[in-house]
Structure 1
Amino acid sequence: MRSVIRGRALLVNSALAVLLAGGVGFAYVSLGDDEATASATTRTTTVMRGDLTTSVAASGSVESATKRALTFAGSGTVTRIHVKVGATVKKGQKLAELDRTEAQEQLDAARAELAVAADGDTSTAQGYASYVQAKNAVSAAQRALDGTVLYAPFAGTVTAVNGDVGDAASGSSGASGSAGSSGSSASSGSSGSSGSSSSGFIELADPAKVQVTGSFTESDATKLKVGQAATVTFAALPGVTAQGKVAAIDSTPTTENNVVTFAVTIVLDAKPAQVRIGQTAAATVTVSKADDALYVPNAAVMSAGGQSTVTVLENGRPVVKSVTVGIVGSSGTEITSGLSEGEQVRITVATGTSGTGSGAQTQRGGFGGGGMVPGGGGRGTGGGR
């Protein structure tokens, strides 16, 4: 009886061993098939001719291109403030005043001393020097009196009032005047009231002239130059765009989280009616352009060892050709030599991972189409013909 049971057990174990071996073999074959099929797909496109551009982009905010922090040229106690935040003012309009009593007294005294000096003997060197000194004192006192009134140097909107009636305001010795319509002067500086040491007593901006300051990466900033054309879009206003130019590039970078950026100011040619100061904007700057260029989609160009190649179909067979490339956009690469217009180019795109790939070659860009379309991320555009 035991021998019969042992025989049956041996038979069952043998059958299980065969099934297990078959399963392992099937799994091995299946895995092998996956390795073989997870390679790439190919398609063809035509070498075309058209205009090609390369651009860089950064985000920022809309701000006034004309803004001033205004301070009194004279000193005294604030007696009147004629405007509030948000007020629209005209050039030369009176904004605020100081107590003029002390400044007027100093002017009267200076004029009296000038009269005495003028009646004296100005034919001598000492007498003439006293006269000139008294005359200069009158001019200084007059400027101090004029400086007790703050005028708008240009038409704009009041963005801040950094003080109240009764505050003591001290003038900025380095402030420069800007004539208003009444003939008096308006000055600007970095301080002007006891309530604010880092801004003017009144801050004024022209909302009609706006700019966008964006932070460009150091690699992108090296491609920028003053005067380059830019296109600006606005996050809150889909479909609204504005044209502008690069006006300034900071020479000192900013480093945050180990990322180096440079601030670039772009002045808009005209402000769209819907745009407001403070809105988020994105600026795309055209850094290079090739007119009537020969180009292929980025994915058609392979790079290895400093050499660029393109696979061309000749008589239905793929032939690898060395090419010289020009500017590279997000969806197109200029070919300056090595190809002719109309040639059929093969594009190979990976469809999965393969354990046997060496990764020795890299493609430029992503899966390119036959024609040029606006590139995403503000990196480049092209138009085929």
Structure 2
Amino acid sequence: MWSRAMSKKGKIIIVLGIILILIILVVVNIKRSTGGTIKVQVGKVKRGDITQVVSGSGRVQPEVQVKISANVSGKIVKLHVKEGEQVKKGQILVELDRTRYEAAVDQAKSNLKSAKASLKKARSEYRRFQELYEKNLCSLADLESAEASLLLAESNVEQAEASLKQAADDLSKTTLISPIDGTVTKLNKEEGEIALGSMFQEDVIMIVADLSKMEVVTEIDENDVVLVSLGDKAKIEVDAIPDTIFEGRVSEIAHTATTRGMGTAEEVTNFEVKVAIEGGAQQLRPGMSATVDIETETHRNVLHIPIQCVTMRMPKAEMERPSVKKYQKTNKGKTSNQEGKNAGNQPDEETDKPKPERKLIQVVFVAENGFARMVPVETGISNDTDIEIISGLKEGQQVITGSYKALSKLLKDGSKIKVSKAAKFRKETEK
């Protein structure tokens, strides 16, 4: 009984082993049959419009904004506006303490009055000495002295008049008025605080801006700014107002670069670009974050493909000839080779020449009957997703769009390919 059970168990083990071996052989054969096949995704060459876009981020600000500062120092005795209030051109905004400046005007008036009195006396003295000199009753020196006193008195009057004018001007500057129609967007001072009034140190009391005309100030990379021109259309997205796209145009392009991290690995060189927002700016507020897409160039009714399709490869001819020497021998044929043998140990001038640089070219892999065909292409402008094809492809052709590894490394001219199921589904939906 025991031997029969063992015999039965052994048969089962043998059968299972055979089945396992068969399964392994089938799997190995499947892998061998598909081992050289590369899974890819495909798309079609399409015809349509493509727009080249340069993007940047920045902040919204008014096109016109004026910083209101005092030209003379003094205590703020009256603020006539509040932050957010609309103002008109010529409207009084701030009044400073006038006491010191009124006193200066009074002093200047008094000095002018005294100078005029001295001038009147000097003129009288000069006329008297003229009469005496004509009668030979005084010397020429006395007359010249009287004339000098008259000239000095006239100069003192002019100086006093200038001092009065300066004092009156300083007094007028104690009242600050709005230079534009707009809105008080920022108020930095309160009544009782001191306005410094220095011409060399900015002491902003408030900012008045025209909020009816807004712009976005952004920075564009030095490699992209050369593509941007004045008047280019732009689409603007503001973080605070989602699902709304504002239209704009490039109004200013800086000629001087802004460099950050100079001398470090993170050095960045940008150029400031201003984009004027066209209409619908009532919702916007200064300081809002925004993203700008500047449309630098548009090509209509052109062939285009997904941008990832374009990759770099050696030209077919270069791939077939690994060296210049081999290329030369192939072209020269047997006669050339025989001549080389007869030359003995003589130096080969052709092989001594430096090898030319192998230049990579732009190519696209086209899917045809289960194989990848490498096609050199000439490209035009591009956007974030697509690139223009000037030559090399035809509308409707299937091009390989992925994977990244296949496009960048695996694919070669003539590679066997298999379109993935996801790609097939996309192809069916496109139809």
Q: In the superposition, relative to structure 1, how do residues 16 and 322 fare at CA in structure 2: closer, same or farther (>3 Å)?
A: closer
Secondary structure of the residue aligned to 1:137 is helix
Q: Which whole-Å CA distance do the structure 1 matches of 2:405 and 2:29 have between them?
A: 17
Say if 1:146 and 1:17 are closer, same or farther in 2 by CA, change over 3 A.
Answer: same
Q: Does 1:167 align with 2:167?
A: no
| Corresponding residue of 2:295 | 286
Q: Determine whether 1:265 maps to 2:263.
A: no
SS at match of 1:24: helix
Aligned partners of 1:302 and 1:309 also within 8 Å? yes
CA–CA separation in structure 2 for the residues paired with 1:275 and 1:227? 22
Is the aligned partner of 1:297 residue 2:305? yes
Q: Which of residues 77, 80, 98 is equivalent to 2:78?
A: 80
Q: How big is the shift at 1:102?
A: 0.6
Report the 3-state secondary structure (helix = DSSP H, G, I; strand = E; otherwise coil) of the residue aligned with 2:179: coil
Change in Cα spacing, 1:51 to 1:348, as seen in structure 2 (3 Å) is closer
How much is the aligned-residue C-alpha RMSD, in angstroms?
4.1
Which one of the candidate residues 104, 129, 136 is aligned to 2:162? 136
TM-score of the aligned structures, taking structure 1 as reference length:
0.70
Q: Report how far residue 34 of structure 1 moved.
A: 6.8
Rg larger in 1 or in 2? 2
What is the alpha-carbon distance in structure 2 between the residues aligned to residue 62 and residue 355 of structure 1?
Answer: 41
Return closer, same or farther for 1:20/1:208 CA change in 2, 3 Å cut-off. Answer: same
Distance 1:264 1:34, change over 3 A: farther
1:117/1:23 Cα in 2 relative to 1: closer, same or farther (>3 Å)?
A: farther
Taking the TM superposition and a 5 Å limit, the aligned residue runs for 1:109-258 are 109-118=107-116, 119-120=118-119, 126-127=152-153, 129-174=155-200, 190-191=202-203, 200-217=204-221, 219-221=223-225, 223-235=227-239, 236-249=241-254, 251-254=257-260, 258=266
The residue type equivalent to 1:296 in the other structure is: H
Distance apart, 1:97 and its partner CA:
0.6
1:95 counterpart = 2:93? yes
Q: Secondary structure at the match of 1:78?
A: strand
CA distance in 2, matches of 1:190, 1:34: 75
Aligned partner of 2:326 in structure 1 is none
Matches of 2:84 and 2:93, distance apart in 1 = 13
Partner AA of 1:151 in structure 2: I
CA deviation profile, 1:2-44 (whole Å, cap 9, x unmatched): 8767655654543343333334334434555775665124454
1:334 is aligned, of 388, 398, 412, to 388
Corresponding pairs, count: 335
Contact 2:250 2:273 in 1 (8 A): no
Give 3-state SS (helix, strand or coil) of 1:91's partner.
coil
Instruction: Work out which of the residue numbers 306, 311, 323 in structure 1 matches 2:377.
Output: 323
Q: Is the 8 A contact 1:54 1:288 kept in 2?
A: yes
Q: Which has the higher strand share?
A: 1
CA contact (8 A) 2:76 2:96 kept: yes
Residue 224 of structure 1: how far off its partner (Å) = 3.5
Q: Deviations over 1:171-198 (max 9, x none)?
A: 1225xxxxxxxxxxxxxx721xxxxxxx
What one-letter code is carried by the residue in structure 2 that aligns with 1:297?
Answer: I
Contact 1:53-1:288 within 8 A present in 2 as well: yes
Alpha-carbon deviation of 1:86?
1.1
- Structure 2, unaligned runs of 5 or more: 124-146, 315-359, 414-422
Q: Distance in 1 between matches of 2:407 and 2:13?
A: 36
TM-score, length-normalised on structure 2? 0.64
* Structure 1 range deviating more: 221-230 or 158-167: 221-230
Q: 1:269 to 1:30 in 2, by over 3 A?
A: same
CA distance in 1, matches of 2:408, 2:284: 55
Contact 2:54 2:294 (8 Å CA) reproduced: yes
- Going from structure 1 to structure 2, the CA distance change for 1:359 and 1:34 (only over 3 Å counts) comes to closer
- Mapped partners of 2:233, 2:409: distance in 1: 43
Give the whole-Å Cα distance in 2 for the aligned partners of 1:279 and 1:33: 60
Query: How much has 1:269 moved relative to structure 2?
Result: 3.6
Aligned match of 1:66: 64
The more displaced of 156-165 and 56-65 is 56-65
User: Residue 232 of structure 1 contacts residue 244 of structure 1 at CA under 8 Å; is this kept in 2?
Assistant: no
Residue type at the aligned position of 2:195: A
CA distance in 2, matches of 1:286, 1:20: 64
Q: Residues 130 and 34 from structure 1, CA distance in 2 versus in 1: closer, same or farther, beyond 3 angstroms? A: farther
- The aligned amino acid for 1:144 is D
Instruction: Give how far 1:208 is off.
Output: 0.9
Gapped regions of structure 1 (runs ≥ 5): 175-188, 192-199, 362-366, 371-385
CA deviation string 1:138-169 (max 9, x = no partner)? 23212211111111111111122222222222
Structure 1 residues 15, 126: closer, same or farther in 2, change over 3 A? farther
Query: Residues 127 and 252 from structure 1, CA distance in 2 versus in 1: closer, same or farther, beyond 3 angstroms?
Result: farther
